[in-house]
């Protein structure tokens, strides 16, 4: 399971090579990278986190999208407690007539690897892309990944969509 971190990093680094920029309303594929301060919440308490990651989305019908997400997360006060996360997602992008400010919601399923163990997680979130003239967007997002035992990985993502 130690290789999962390297696999997630390889996926993250491959995102820019696989993506294309937004072209007017004909947007079929978009990649994104982000940094996310957040919190690891369990019954015993809360720990600050910092997450780096990226993903890819394909818009398959109107605003409906399918994609994947991968990230590496560090947990404060626990140097060996980093984890790798990956998920498959469905999203919906609300495209207004102007096309510049595009809010979205998403949900998915995935897993997290922590040391030699792992767990399945569900995720929900939402945010907005603000598209600039050059086909790049500022991406702001809030996401919660959770499992039934009360574990939550909360993050406020700031990044770039291309």
In angstroms, rounded to a whole number, what is the distance separating the alpha carbons of residues 78 and 64? 39
Would you say how long the chain is, in residues? 162
Rounded Cα distance, 33 and 14, in Å: 11
Q: What whole-number distance in Å separates Cα of residue 33 and Cα of residue 142?
A: 14
Q: Give yes or no for a contact between 40 and 47, defined as CB atoms under 8 angstroms apart.
A: yes
Q: Print the domain residue range for 26.
A: 3-161
Q: What pLDDT score does 99 carry?
A: 73
- pLDDT string in tens for the chain (162-residue length): 444 454 444 444 444 444 333 434 445 799 999 999 999 999 889 999 999 999 999 999 988 999 999 999 998 877 667 889 999 999 999 976 677 899 999 999 999 997 778 899 999 999 999 999 888 999 999 999 999 889 999 999 999 999
Model confidence, pTM = 0.80
Predicted confidence at residue 14, as pLDDT, reads: 47
Residue 80: the pLDDT is 67
pLDDT of res. 97: 64
Look at the chain and report how many structural domains it folds into. Answer: 1
The CATH number for 14's domain is: 2.40.160.20
């Amino acid at each position: 399971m130690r290789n999962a971190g390297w696999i997630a990093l390889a996926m993250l680094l491959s995102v820019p090579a696989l993506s294309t920029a937004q072209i007017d309303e004909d947007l079929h594929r978009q990649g994104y990278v982000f940094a996310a301060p957040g919190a690891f919440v369990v019954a015993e308490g809360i720990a600050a986190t910092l997450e780096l990651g990226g993903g890819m989305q394909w818009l398959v019908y109107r605003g409906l999208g399918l994609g994947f997400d991968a990230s590496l997360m560090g947990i404060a006060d626990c140097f060996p407690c980093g984890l790798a996360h990956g998920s498959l997602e469905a999203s919906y992008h609300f495209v207004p007539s102007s096309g510049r400010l595009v809010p979205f919601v998403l949900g998915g399923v995935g897993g997290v690897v922590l040391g030699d163990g792992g767990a399945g997680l569900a995720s929900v979130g939402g945010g907005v892309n603000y598209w600039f003239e050059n086909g790049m967007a500022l991406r702001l997002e809030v996401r919660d990944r959770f499992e039934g035992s009360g574990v939550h990985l909360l993050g406020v993502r700031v990044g770039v969509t291309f």
